[in-house]
Amino acid sequence: MLGLLVAACNATPDLPAGWDLGGNARAYHSGPYVAAGPESARRFCEPLFAALPDGVWAKPTADLGQLAERLAPVFGKDPRTALVRRDVGGQDLLVAVVIGAEFPSQVVALAVDTDTGTGPEDAAWVAAGALALVRAIDGEGQARNVPRNGLGADIPADRLQATHPRRSVAFVFGVEPIEGILQSAGDAPLAVVLTEGIFGDANSERSVVWMERSPDPAMYAPLFPDPPREAMPRGVAGIPNGLALLGRMALVDSGTVSRPWASSEHPFRAKSALAPLADAGVAGIRIHRPNRGESRALADFFECERMLIAVIAAVAATADAQPLDLRRLQRSLSLERRLRSAAALDQAQDEALAEEWDQWLASVSHWCRRLCLGLALDGTED
């Protein structure tokens, strides 16, 4: 990746003063609770919301040349950015990079497969979001009016600007981009978020956005709050990381600055698009909307916007993890630990599973601590 760079639940109610969700403006997430607060993903949701064009649909395209033209006015001209198109292992990839302010060689990637059913729409929206992230960093967003319990009109001026991420953020477009990312020269990325279905499908579940996690103990014993599914046989080696927690926060936080929405999550699946990342030991999540039909019509612009804000906030919050984010992450992990332990002991009567979750989340906590403190995630430095 460095080679490309060079070339279940509502948010908990204990909100700090000034962070009232307001009326019914809540993000309903079917998954573990997250602690409320202005840190982590929330720090990016409001500036991104303010920096996106109001009510403008992104014109679909899977053509990397056209996407490059849209990104070129900013990426590659601003010294804080880069724009590269290159064949990597037979994969034609377009990569737009916001270069990290402190650790530019450490990369967090947002990948879009342009060859899926909604690939052209997804690519167009993510390109618009990449430009919005730069605008948010420059403080160029403006407060917007959002109907039906949205909070966008109430964003104060001091929360319209995003911080420049400490690590680099790479927006990767192409066919099978994860394979291209893993085959590129240099170190593998710290984490990858794959997004599918931003534009979505015209069906009754279009408002529900799902997050698929990296391998974790729920693969072998899916219990509440995960949806019922057949357990996988043991054999897939999961590496504990906090990317799913950061993605969960982004899903919840994005609903507090736009309009109410529903999201959910599920464990890693056997034939997952995340499998190459799991095999390579790279943290990954997939934020996706079900696509069960031929129609691409979507009734609500805000459904696209919320999902776009969530995926970019997840990537940016991971890249910009700071010491001030650690308390919220640790509080959220404490909530999840209680939930997983109760499910294992009360629902499954499985003490070994409860112990496995406890050890897993302790390792996730260690990963989050090192990420926030700017230490190597493999423990090679203190």
- Neighbouring residues of 61: CB distance < 8 A, sequence distance ≥ 6: 67, 120, 123, 124
Would residue 356 count as lying in a domain?
yes
Would residue 223 count as lying in a domain?
yes
Which of 40-49, 98-107, 184-193 has the least mean pLDDT?
Answer: 184-193
Query: Could you check whether the bond before residue 16 is cis, i.e. omega within 30 degrees of 0?
Result: no
Q: What is the mean pLDDT of the chain?
A: 83
- Give the range of the structural domain holding residue 177, as residue numbers without chain letter: 2-373
Would residue 326 count as lying in a domain?
yes
Would residue 347 count as lying in a domain?
yes
Tell me how far apart the alpha carbons of residues 66 and 64 are, in angstroms, rounded to a whole number: 5
DSSP H helices in 60-156: 64-71, 119-137
Would residue 380 count as lying in a domain?
no
**Higher-confidence residue: 217 or 237?**
217
Counting the structural domains of the chain, the total is 1
CATH number, domain with residue 305: 3.40.630
Would residue 382 count as lying in a domain?
no
pTM: 0.89
Would residue 40 count as lying in a domain?
yes
pLDDT band at residue 270, thresholds of 50, 70 and 90? confident
Which of 18-32, 52-66, 69-83, 212-226 has the least mean pLDDT?
Answer: 18-32
Which of 37-41, 354-358, 366-370 has the least mean pLDDT?
Answer: 37-41
pLDDT band at residue 145, thresholds of 50, 70 and 90? low
Tell me how far apart the alpha carbons of residues 76 and 36 are, in angstroms, rounded to a whole number: 37
pLDDT band at residue 222, thresholds of 50, 70 and 90? confident
pLDDT band at residue 14, thresholds of 50, 70 and 90? very low
Would residue 381 count as lying in a domain?
no
> Stretch 232-246: mean pLDDT, rounded?
85
Specify whether the CB–CB gap between 142 and 203 falls below 8 A: no
- Neighbouring residues of 355: CB distance < 8 A, sequence distance ≥ 6: none
**Higher-confidence residue: 256 or 4?**
256
